[in-house]
Amino acid sequence: MSQECQTTLAAAVSLEGCGIHSGRECRVTLLPAETGYGVRFARTDLPGTPEIPAQIASLSEEPMMRRTILRDGDVSVETVEHILAVLHGFGIDNARVEMTSAEPPIWDGSAKELAKLVGQGGVKTLDGSERKVFRVTRPVSFSPEDSPGVEFTAWPSDTLTLTYFLNYDHPVIGSKTVSFCITPEVTEKEIAPARTFCTEEEVAFLRSKGLIRGGNIDNAIVVGRSGILNTELLWPDELARHKLLDFLGDLLLLGLPARGHFTAFRGGHHANAQFIRYLRKEFSQA
């Protein structure tokens, strides 16, 4: 079997827009990086352009509140799960993500435009490098103690496959299941376009917490008690696909591209983080 090599972006890609929680403008630029660099976020708006590696040690301990936050000392980036999902889905090992503020743009609530640009730019193989992956070698299951009804499993597989079980006590959302073997094409066409969502009742609560200051009817699906209030779904299971998008991004915090079949029943960012910590302990040899 030939040795699998590490990869990076073949060309830089850049997008700008408004952060959904901060409401601040941000320009994000994804740049090629050398062998062994990994994925790192760089705050170009701060003195010295501090970097934060995309790994579980950087994950903030503060409440997730519907987003993934990475921190190194006083420097942080937040709501980075969509960027991580695109990188993970395209199999990119090394990339520098430069940001002009703490939160990347939300765009239309999905990662569609970013995935399109990465797909157009292409992926470059770093010749002479050895690719390392996080491999599940035996079946495991995990249920966070502080999240009743949430459950994860992981099974050995030579590919990365994700299954997400959406289950809401809500007349419109209800239950949906989606499952994909992750490839660049599947990521771009079937997962990245799925938009973030919230219920009509959640809007006031999130705003009371100082969140969704950049949210509007064009960058999130709003679900009412009798139907979708502001748009039409791209697929009947779009909400489940978006949860799978977040799961795909959070899994890159393992620090390596993952190989296994991972399932999540009612998982979210906070529970995903606990599952990732569990996986790192169970498969410390990876």
Q: What is the pLDDT of residues 138-162, one digit of tens each?
A: 999 999 988 889 999 999 999 999 9
pLDDT of residue 64: 55
Selecting among 82, 242, 261, 269, the annotated active-site residue is 269
Per residue in 226-258, pLDDT (tens digit) is 999 999 999 999 999 999 999 999 999 999 999
As for how many domains the chain has, the answer is 1
State pLDDT tens for residues 111-144. 999 999 999 999 999 999 999 999 999 999 999 9
Q: Is the pLDDT of residue 218 over 90?
A: no
Q: What's the domain range around 16? A: 7-131
Q: How far apart are CA 251 and CA 257, in angstroms?
A: 8
Query: Has residue 147 been placed in a domain?
Result: no
Asked if residue 111 is part of any domain, the answer here is: yes
pLDDT tens digits along 60-74: 976 656 789 999 999
- Whether 208 is in a domain gets the answer no
pLDDT for 220 beyond 60: yes
Whether residue 271 lies inside any domain: the answer is no
Concerning whether 269 is annotated as a catalytic residue, the answer is: yes
- Across 208-237, b (16+ Cβ under 10 Å) vs e yields eeebbebbeeebbbbbeeeebeebeeeeeb
| In-domain check, residue 180 | no
pLDDT tens digits for range 193-217: 999 999 999 888 888 888 888 888 8
Write out the two tokens for 204.
């006031």
| CATH number where 72 lies | 3.30.230.20
In a domain, 36, yes or no: yes
